[in-house]
């Protein structure tokens, strides 16, 4: 896919039009990649500036999706996953070896031949968590996270195993350069990535996606309406009757004040820390009852270090306060926000569609 395709994939509900397949010669690909800026010239407009002038592999797509749902505190963990030799720098070989782990994990699961498991794998790759349990229990009562990100973190040591480490040169030689590889490691692939540049890239990507969503509603203004904010929060969720929540906003906030981008961004940074927030509420024994605005703000600060503005918190409460008691139902709020955090990739909707998609893809490939 192209950088533009990636942006559309994570900011729209469905494709606006059907794209035709494209093939590039080696010369055309090299010319396209020559326009890729180095990491130190990165910005929160990188993908928008590149548009169709770039290529992103499937494995990189999964990696980028992981970034969108990770808190800033997790950026260091992500960097350490790639830095297999512990020298505080990531080179192209280390990056590609971890991509090989991505691929091997995928192939191992696919080999099981179970259609539902294949569909579930797709969901897990996007950070899926079970609606009923966020962990699995083994016979030894060991807690095993369902998150593919956590699976990778546990298996990063595989990169040090001889079968992968010894093949690092082979992996590098077999992989075609992509926009991300050139951006990280330069046109010759000899540059190295430090944590500061890696952190900035991840932060810029999160910011870019949020800016695109915000600008699609702001119409050039510095704020979006509280109702538009509610629209954005309820996108990609399993809420069937969103009109109830939107009416809450219209009724409870008749005079529009607006949500600034800084408020908008801080809320989604909070969502990326949703699991820590849930733990904080459990510690305060709020998980079994509704909570007020002051308790909510305190729990957010304890869990994330973020201070949400009073107006933003009030708006969130007005959206989800169905019974008009100025209290927030913990279970309902957490469930809806988990859907929103993972941008619709948590559900089971793709289970029945996978065989049809696979059959269609085979026919398309055979016809070429």
Q: Which residues pair with 328 in a beta bridge?
A: 291
Tokens 């179970």 sit on residue: 114
Domains (range + CATH), the chain: 3-204 (no CATH), 221-341 (1.10.238)
Residue ranges of E strands in 30-161: 89-90, 135-137, 143-145
Write a three-state SS string for 300-351: HHHHHCCCCCHHHHHHHHHHHCCCCCCCECHHHHHHHHHHHHCCCCCCCCCC
pLDDT at position 127 is 34
Dihedral (C-alpha) 172, 174, 180, 185: value to the nearest 10 degrees?
A: 30
Token pair belonging to 322: 């169905």
Q: Using N-to-C axis directions, what is the helix angle for 58-68 and 148-155, rounded to 10°?
A: 110
Distance spanning both ends of the chain, measured CA to CA: 19
Q: What is the pTM of this model?
A: 0.74
Q: Are 291 and 320 in contact (CB under 8 A)?
A: no
Query: How is 256-277 classified by DSSP, letter by letter?
Result: ---EEHHHHHHHHHHHTTHHHH
Q: How far is CA 347 from CA 15, 64, 172, in A?
A: 19, 20, 35
3-state secondary structure of 297: helix
Using the Cα atoms of residue 183, residue 210, residue 55 and residue 236 in order, give the sign of their dihedral. positive
pLDDT on residue 171: 56
Q: pLDDT tens string for the chain (368 positions)?
A: 899 999 988 888 766 666 677 788 888 888 999 999 999 999 999 999 999 999 998 888 888 888 888 888 888 888 888 887 889 999 998 888 777 666 665 555 555 444 445 444 444 443 333 333 334 333 444 444 444 445 444 444 444 444 555 555 555 666 789 999 999 999 998 999 999 999 999 999 999 999 999 999 998 899 999 999 999 988 877 777 888 888 888 888 888 899 999 999 999 999 998 888 888 777 765 656 778 899 889 889 988 889 999 999 999 999 888 777 788 877 778 778 887 776 655 444 443 445 555 566 565 666 65
């Amino acid at each position: 896919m192209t950088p533009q395709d990636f942006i559309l994939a994570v900011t729209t509900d469905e494709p606006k039009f059907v794209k035709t397949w494209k093939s590039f010669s080696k010369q055309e690909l090299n010319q396209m990649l020559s326009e890729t800026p180095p990491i130190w010239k990165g910005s929160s407009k990188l993908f928008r500036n590149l548009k169709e002038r770039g290529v992103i592999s499937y494995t990189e797509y999964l990696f980028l999706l992981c970034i969108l749902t990770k808190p800033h505190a997790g950026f260091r963990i992500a960097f350490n996953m790639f830095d297999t030799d512990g020298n505080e720098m990531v080179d192209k070989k280390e990056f590609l070896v971890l991509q090989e782990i991505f691929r091997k994990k995928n192939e191992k699961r696919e080999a099981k031949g179970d259609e539902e498991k294949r569909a579930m794998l797709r969901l897990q790759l996007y950070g899926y968590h079970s609606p009923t349990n966020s962990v699995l229990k083994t016979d030894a009562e060991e807690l095993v996270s369902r998150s593919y990100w956590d699976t990778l973190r546990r298996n990063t040591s595989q990169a040090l195993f001889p079968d992968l480490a010894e093949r690092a040169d082979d992996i590098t030689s077999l992989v075609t350069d992509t926009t991300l590889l050139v951006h990280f490691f330069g046109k010759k692939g000899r540059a190295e990535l430090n944590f500061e540049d890696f952190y900035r890239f991840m932060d810029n990507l999160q910011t870019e996606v949020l800016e695109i969503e915000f600008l699609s509603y702001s119409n050039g203004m510095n704020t979006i309406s509280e109702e538009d904010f509610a629209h954005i929060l309820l996108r990609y969720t399993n809420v069937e009757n969103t009109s109830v929540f939107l009416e809450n906003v219209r009724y409870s906030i008749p005079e529009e004040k607006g949500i600034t981008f800084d408020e908008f961004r801080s809320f989604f940074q909070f969502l990326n820390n949703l699991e820590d927030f849930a733990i904080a509420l459990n510690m305060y024994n709020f998980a079994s009852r509704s909570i007020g605005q002051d308790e909510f703000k305190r729990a957010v600060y304890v869990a994330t270090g973020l201070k949400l503005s009073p107006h933003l918190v009030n708006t969130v409460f007005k959206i989800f306060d169905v019974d008009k008691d100025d209290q927030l139902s913990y279970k309902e709020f957490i469930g809806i926000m988990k859907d929103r955090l993972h941008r619709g990739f948590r559900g089971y909707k793709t289970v029945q569609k996978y065989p049809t998609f696979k059959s269609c893809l085979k026919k398309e490939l055979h016809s070429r």
